[in-house]
């Protein structure tokens, strides 16, 4: 366990807004990081099972990406290029076409939105509305798509919704796959959309994550995702898959949906797309729906050239062959096994999620919070998820070596044991 | 004039969305840049009078900022830190407090929003609504605040508004300072807000740019800005100044409003705040209004550590003493003189803006476009602004040396002469 | 069958808007009416199984109501009284208190809204929002609540919703009782409202009809209605029952919900409340929710004194004792029997509704329309209902004598036989 | 002065909602009325200078209208006819065509909306949106158009707007003619609509009253109204004149705009259109804009046959020749003279309005309220108007005989004298 973690944080208290969050439960002042390890100002080491909420799928400061970035900067490579043509963007697009789109038979165009996931979602929602001339977008219980006004309308979380302090328009909420016992949510949506008096306006799009990262690691079945595609097209709507958290290998394949036999009209990506944790977001859109006029959706930072450099390097390093993907399959199994062991400790606990995006629903937010807090004391950075924060969620870098994985799980297991022991004592 | 600018741009045509824009009129593939100069893949050189739309106020790849960034990366400094405490963030906050906030007697808290200007505006609008329990925000003709749904409601531009393909709520539009002949827009706003049947719901905030960067370089008078502050507070609203384009020295002082004797409740910043063109945005908020709960407004990239590094270096290099600001005053005069000469060439032309954010209204979008296109051919990157794109706008890096300024103006003058000569010929 | 029904309708064609509707399928020019019979300009007689869409529950020109009205007018009784105290209003309120509210142990206050059902619904929605400080109102598939913007948001019918030509806000749509096979719509609503990430904003009210008059005569079970009351109160919302079409005895009791052991926070009434077909609407509201300020919801015609006169007379004539209600029970059985006979003629036909608000779902809108058209030719005024207009709906005056009922059913039966015969012939 | 006005009003206190309003300041229980006189239960007589807020332009119980109505009812004439053809409707349409539309060269179609002014306004706004495919409607300071959600968005009054307890969409507010000193509100609107970055979405309609009845009797000039027509058509919008309060002769001609050389695309009417104070509303629409489908905008009471009977009788009695209109011209002058005398009593008082729709702005709502209260004590029913209720408003029946007019003015003058005397005493 890290010693002497009391660093000077007065500048944050004095000048940073109360909206700050992660630093409240994990108050260390972090300075450096390599792979799956973080180090604070006093040299304390932490294992990272959070990975910037899946923004660091290839770990911190991957040496090849880092070298490419330093090389770019050192040679006065452009840092900011609006949406001008740049060599860095061209190289990224070429790599993305060669190693991602072509092998998956995807004819999508790439639109660089503002470099936040929310911005990509906003662009997707606007585009679907422009394409269809309709306003209504179907979103789901526990979906999380960002907190700017357009995206927030689609986000289910009440705490975030409340932050807008005004009503949000243009979204109809439906139960997600498996949400309500006995409810076939695909059939219900299809029936309501098909009913002339169903009261749901004709939709511009159906929008969801295949695995709800913030909503509790609820994983949609391939069958349900296919049905959503069918329902969308039957009712003249676009299928938008928000792959911001579940994409870039997190579920075991580059896209979370690629083994589901669907072809989304729009895919949103962010978080790990730069490969290095740099702000970058994009939207993939089928050519027939690529109808924004020049700069109709714009933004100053839509050409983060540094991110293009690392994104290209990441694509080439991890996705040019299938070696990495095969590794992910193995690690997913390892993760499932390890989490099963932890789940066995907690009465009623349930495994959630899939691939490298799994967690344990321990039944209560309070218990989950205590386990994560205890783990942090022992040097593991990890967070909860779910409507009541009741899921202990593992989002380790995909590149985490097996030994570190094991070390992290050992901490987590011990944390669970400690907390459950304390609870048992308190109950006696 | 650059020769051989026909580079291979087929990857962009093939895979980039039609939403791309700047690259259409300026098709070179840019690779490197230093100070106020850009270089394309073939080594052609361009003078940059656009500066990433004011995102590169300190020029491209400033050597000190660049060194700090490379040093940070080389030593495995954190790239992505969510809103955890990081040394880089602490150092930025300390520099920002010491050199910006304290000397200006500002007690504001700093909130790192998602790293786009639009995200900072969304956060500001949400916060004002949360603080006041009201929805309505007063925005102005020709204001530009971003294109995500919340911010877009405040943006005046019809082309961008149309991109949403749905109605936007929560904003009342009023004429900007000097917009309509004979209309005292402050008095009109005050009267309508004070009238129980005025039909404008009690406002949460009054939101504007002191110089409308996209709207045609319309500069509000200090008197009008003070009146807006008075009206806001009289009617229980917050004053939000969007200093995204006009801030960071662009008008001659760090904030665009600092010689106006106002204290905005909220200030939004982005573009040049990182100093290096990296995605970063923040919101300054008076402590009494700092009421977002933890992560109530959140976003994956709200801790772009690379940007913190360069932002700190920029603050320390340019704003620790008043030398830079004095330089800006001189350059502003130089700019006014040079633009006056160009304006003299065009019958009816009018100077717009202030500080290093000036331009010439040449009376028609077509004429302005032709002048900029001709200038580009001669190696000058420059763009237009205004409701009809009728203003040739100069947004050169603030650090542009006098000689380069002169070279750029010579090109612009020649471009104007060429185009006016062609028009004269065509008319004969 | 009426002869010579070709009357001069050119003035309607020439000057009445294309929005006119009933007159298209039933083009006679009606002049007089008594009880359950209508007469056109040429003396042709029609039996009325439509009753002004349940606005004429006591038939046309009931002699006692008529006498009271003529007496009032002849003695220069007030016709229009805004919301001043009038003797007529006082007498109505006294009768309504004595014979309706008190015996049912209802402590509700009476608010006279503008004299349309939609206006009462608008007032109810506004009031629920004012009481709770929330915006969201839960409404249901196939609900019909009017076509003004506030009420229309709650109405499910897509044709009517489209008429607004803009988005409607503030309503969440849920499946009605029995809507979707296997879906417990009460449990689903409760789960989504109780889920912090359910994505349905905390509701101001749950709003529905116990029998959906326009939506196809879908009757909610008492159990479901009670659950809705429980869910509303559990989640801090008001229960609003829209009894505009199903109230005033239509289902067999004065209120449609009175045998369900619920106490709605708000009840809306219109249609038959005047007893004579005159425009009148009101809202009943529990005293603790009676929080509109004076004239906060107002309207010029909220005191239709003529309607107060007939409404009082109707209450006193039909509801002072339980004789009328006992009659309704008998007639309901008669109606069920008669409709069963008709349903037997149509393969797959299903009985819908309850009380004197029943119909036959004949499976297709086309078939239902042909049956009604044929019935009209034979002198029966009747219409369809349901999302696809597939339900032949009986809304005869509650006072219709058995002999006329029988005559009407005979026509309807013959119409069904004729149409089915034609279809059989065509198929051969 | 009426004696013994303390009647039993306990039923109202006990059972009527707190939303009741007029009865608070004028607590008599009214029973009968003839012409311009009201009588309470105890036989006390009041002169009516309110006329049901202009719903009783032809006075109470006009003998010819009354006879026609009794005759209709006595002969079992239809009371409720949905939108079926009825003889009564045909006769009204014929009279309206002959005596109103044709002589004024108006080709408008008549649409019978729900029988409230608000419903007509809702229909007009929906239709303009349907016709243009646009949402935005321009409305004005101090406009009053009703309190249902669609109409309320256009209403300026903050108290009524607040009653909705949610945001209202689809309306842009502009200053009315003469609203703000030195502001040419027509030029401002035209400039903002014509500006691609003006921030006002392309409008579906421009909507206003030519004299703002509730907003303080502000009368638009003919020139301004014509400019609004020009601006509407120039920008592809419809011109909607809300003639609900100012129509039916109130300003001296049948329509308030008929001497202004405009041809509105839509006109809304209600209040006095039935002639007898019965609920009735309609919308006039140019044939090319008559695009609602059958029942697309509907409502149970859109065929109030009793109102058709009295409306026809009123048209034939008052508008078949120009005698009545000539009378109105004389009475308008009489009213102006009488009000000038009263205005002379109050320092700073200003005359407002035109025709038989005039009043005195006495400078404060408190003073106006006291004058009206004192007048009521002396037997005059009269109310205030304006954003601060600062205008004593005369809305006497147009048929008021000169002697009664004089009697009413004498009371009002005495009331003003009394109140001013009390104030002087109190100040000494």
Residues A213 and A260 in one domain: yes
pLDDT score, position B427: 86
**Residue that finishes a domain, picked among C287, C318, C349:** C318
On the question of pLDDT at C2 being above 90, the answer is: no
Is D427 touching A (CB cutoff 8 A)? no
Residues A228 and A333 in one domain: no
A185 to chain C, closest Cα gap in Å: 9
Residue D290 lies in a domain: yes
pLDDT in tens, A264-281: 999 999 999 999 999 999
* Residue D356 and residue D396 in contact, taking contact as beta carbons nearer than 8 Å: yes
* Residue C277 and residue C34 in contact, taking contact as beta carbons nearer than 8 Å: no
* Cα A360 from Cα A352, distance rounded (Å): 6
**ipTM for this model:** 0.97
pLDDT score, position C358: 98
Name the packing angle between helices C117-132 and D117-132 (round to 10°).
Answer: 90
Residues D190 and D332 in one domain: no
Residue A299 lies in a domain: yes
Residues B228 and B276 in one domain: yes
On the question of pLDDT at A106 being above 90, the answer is: yes
Residues B306 and B342 in one domain: no
Residue B404 lies in a domain: yes
Those of residues 40-79 in B touching chain A at CB distance below 8 A are: 41, 50, 52-53, 55-56, 60-61, 66, 69-70, 73-79
- Could you please report the per-residue DSSP string of A366-395? HHHHHHHHHHHHTTEE-EEESTTS-EEEE-
pLDDT in tens, D258-273: 999 999 999 999 999 9
Which residue does chain D place closest to B192, by CA atoms? D141
Residue B179 lies in a domain: yes
Residue A55 lies in a domain: no
Is D188 touching B (CB cutoff 8 A)? yes
Q: What is the CATH number of the domain that holds A209?
A: 3.40.640.10
pLDDT score, position A3: 44
On the question of pLDDT at C8 being above 90, the answer is: no
pLDDT in tens, D42-53: 999 999 999 999
B328 to chain A, closest Cα gap in Å: 23
Give percent of chain D with pLDDT exceeding 90.
96
- Between residues C7 and B412, which one has the greater pLDDT? B412
Confidence category of residue C7, pLDDT binned at 50, 70, 90? low
Residue C22 lies in a domain: no
- Could you please report the per-residue DSSP string of D286-351? -GGG--PPTTSS--TTS-BHHHHHHHHHHHHHHHSSSHHHHHHHHHHHHHHHHHHHHHHHSTT-EE
Is D228 touching C (CB cutoff 8 A)? no
pLDDT in tens, D297-334: 999 999 899 999 999 999 999 999 999 999 999 999 99
A 10 A CB-CB count for A424 gives: 9
Residue A304, φ and ψ in degrees, nearest 5: -80, 95
* Cα C262 from Cα D333, distance rounded (Å): 60
A 10 A CB-CB count for D74 gives: 13
As a three-state string, the secondary structure of chain C is CCCCCCCCCHHHHHHECCCCCHHHHCCCEEEEEEECEEEECCCCEEEECCHHHHCCCCCECCHHHHHHHHHHHHCCECCECCCCEEHHHHHHHHHHHHHHHHHHCCCCEEEECCCCHHHHHHHHHHHHHHHHCCCEEEEECCCCCCCCHHHHHHCCCHHHHHHCCCCCCCEEEECCCCCCCCCCHHHHHHHHHHCCCCCCCCEEEEEECCEECCCCCEECCHHHHHHHHHHHHHCCCEEEEECCCCCCCCCCCCCCCCCCCCCCCEEEECHHHHCCCCCCCEEEECHHHCCCCCCCCCCCCCCEHHHHHHHHHHHHHHCCCCHHHHHHHHHHHHHHHHHHHHHHHCCCCEEEEECCEEEEECCCHHHHHHHHHHHHHCCEECEEECCCCCEEEECCCCCCCHHHHHHHHHHHHHHHHHHHHHHHHHHC
> For residue B367, what is the enclosing H or E element?
helix B365-377
Is A165 touching D (CB cutoff 8 A)? no
* Residue B271 and residue B54 in contact, taking contact as beta carbons nearer than 8 Å: yes
Average pLDDT over residues C29-52: 97
pLDDT score, position D7: 64
- Between residues D103 and B424, which one has the greater pLDDT? D103
D15 to chain A, closest Cα gap in Å: 35
- Name the domain count of chain C: 2
Give the domain extent around A385.
Answer: 322-359+373-428
CB–CB of A148 and B153 under 8 A?
Answer: no
Q: Cα Rg for chain A, rounded, in angstroms?
A: 22
On the question of pLDDT at D1 being above 70, the answer is: no
pLDDT in tens, A296-326: 999 999 989 999 999 999 999 999 999 999 9
CB–CB of C182 and A179 under 8 A?
Answer: no
Confidence category of residue A84, pLDDT binned at 50, 70, 90? very high
pLDDT in tens, C140-176: 999 999 999 999 999 999 999 999 999 999 999 999 9
* Cα B121 from Cα B296, distance rounded (Å): 15
Q: Write out chain A residues lying below 8 Å of B85, CB-based.
A: 7, 9, 12, 23, 27-30
D329 to chain A, closest Cα gap in Å: 51
pLDDT score, position B297: 97
* Residue B163 and residue B178 in contact, taking contact as beta carbons nearer than 8 Å: no
CB nearest A173 (choices: C159, C181, C199) = C199
Q: Which residues of chain B have pLDDT under 70?
A: 1-7
Evaluate if pTM is beyond 0.90.
yes
Average pLDDT over residues A190-214: 98
**Residue that finishes a domain, picked among C285, C318, C351:** C318
Is B147 touching D (CB cutoff 8 A)? no
Which residue does chain B place closest to D214, by CA atoms? B197
pLDDT score, position A8: 82
C326 to chain D, closest Cα gap in Å: 27
Average pLDDT over residues C390-408: 97
Q: End-to-end alpha-carbon separation of chain D, Å? A: 29
Coil, strand, or helix at residue A42?
coil
Is C31 touching D (CB cutoff 8 A)? yes
Q: Write out chain D residues lying below 8 Å of B181, CB-based.
A: 187
Number of CB pairs < 8 Å for C and D? 387
Residues A200 and A331 in one domain: no
Residue C55 lies in a domain: no
CB–CB of D192 and B173 under 8 A?
Answer: yes
Residues B139 and B93 in one domain: yes
Q: Under the phi-then-psi rule, with left for phi > 0, alpha for psi from -120 to 50, and beta for the rest, what region is B7? A: beta
Those of residues 283-342 in C touching chain B at CB distance below 8 A are: none
pLDDT score, position A1: 38
Residues B166 and B224 in one domain: yes
Residues C85 and C107 in one domain: yes
Residues A68 and A208 in one domain: yes
Residues D155 and D286 in one domain: yes
Q: Write out chain A residues lying below 8 Å of C202, CB-based.
A: 158
pLDDT score, position D8: 82
CB–CB of B182 and D182 under 8 A?
Answer: yes
On the question of pLDDT at A4 being above 70, the answer is: no
pLDDT in tens, C180-215: 999 999 999 999 999 999 999 999 999 999 999 999
Residues A300 and A255 in one domain: yes
CB–CB of C21 and D294 under 8 A?
Answer: yes
* Residue D122 and residue D147 in contact, taking contact as beta carbons nearer than 8 Å: no
pLDDT score, position A110: 98
Residue C7 lies in a domain: no
Q: What is the CATH number of the domain that holds B399?
A: 3.90.1150.10
């Amino acid at each position: 366990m890290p010693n002497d973690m009391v660093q000077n944080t007065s500048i944050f208290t004095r000048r940073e807004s109360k909206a700050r969050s992660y630093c409240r439960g994990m108050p260390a002042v972090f300075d450096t990081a390599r792979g799956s390890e973080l180090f604070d100002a006093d040299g304390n080491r932490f294992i990272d099972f959070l990975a910037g909420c899946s923004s660091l799928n290839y770990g911190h400061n991957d040496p090849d990406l880092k070298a490419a970035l330093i090389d770019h900067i050192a040679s006065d490579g452009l840092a900011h290029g609006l949406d001008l043509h740049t060599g860095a963007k061209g190289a990224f697009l070429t790599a993305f076409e060669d190693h991602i789109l072509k092998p998956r038979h995807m004819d999508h165009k790439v639109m660089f939105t503002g470099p936040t996931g929310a911005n990509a979602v906003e662009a997707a929602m606007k585009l679907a509305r422009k394409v269809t001339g309709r306003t209504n977008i179907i979103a789901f219980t526990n979906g999380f798509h960002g907190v700017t006004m357009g995206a927030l309308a689609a986000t289910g979380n009440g705490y975030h919704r409340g932050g807008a302090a005004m009503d949000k328009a243009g979204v109809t909420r439906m139960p997600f796959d498996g949400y309500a016992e006995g409810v076939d949510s695909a059939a219900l949506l299809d029936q309501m959309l098909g009913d002339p008096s169903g009261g749901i306006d004709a939709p511009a799009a159906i929008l969801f994550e295949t695995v709800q990262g913030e909503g509790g690691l609820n994983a949609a079945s391939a069958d349900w995702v296919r049905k959503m595609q069918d329902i969308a097209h039957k009712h003249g709507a676009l299928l938008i898959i928000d792959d911001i958290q579940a994409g870039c290998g997190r579920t075991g394949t580059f896209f979370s949906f690629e083994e589901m036999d669907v072809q989304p009209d729009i895919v949103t990506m962010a978080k790990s797309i730069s490969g290095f944790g740099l702000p970058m977001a994009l939207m993939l859109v089928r050519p027939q729906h690529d109808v924004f006029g020049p700069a109709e959706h714009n933004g100053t930072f839509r050409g983060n050239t540094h991110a293009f450099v690392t994104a290209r390097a990441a694509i080439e390093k991890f996705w040019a062959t299938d070696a990495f993907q095969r590794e992910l399959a193995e690690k997913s199994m390892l993760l499932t096994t390890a989490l099963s062991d932890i789940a066995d400790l907690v009465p009623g606990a349930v495994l959630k999620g899939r691939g490298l995006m799994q967690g344990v629903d321990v039944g209560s937010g309070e218990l989950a919070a205590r386990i994560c807090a205890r783990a942090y004391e022992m040097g593991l950075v990890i967070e909860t998820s779910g409507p009541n924060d009741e899921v202990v969620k593992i989002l380790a870098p995909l590149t985490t070596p097996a030994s570190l994985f094991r070390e992290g799980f050992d901490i987590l297991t011990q944390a669970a044991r400690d907390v459950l022991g304390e609870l048992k004592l308190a109950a006696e």
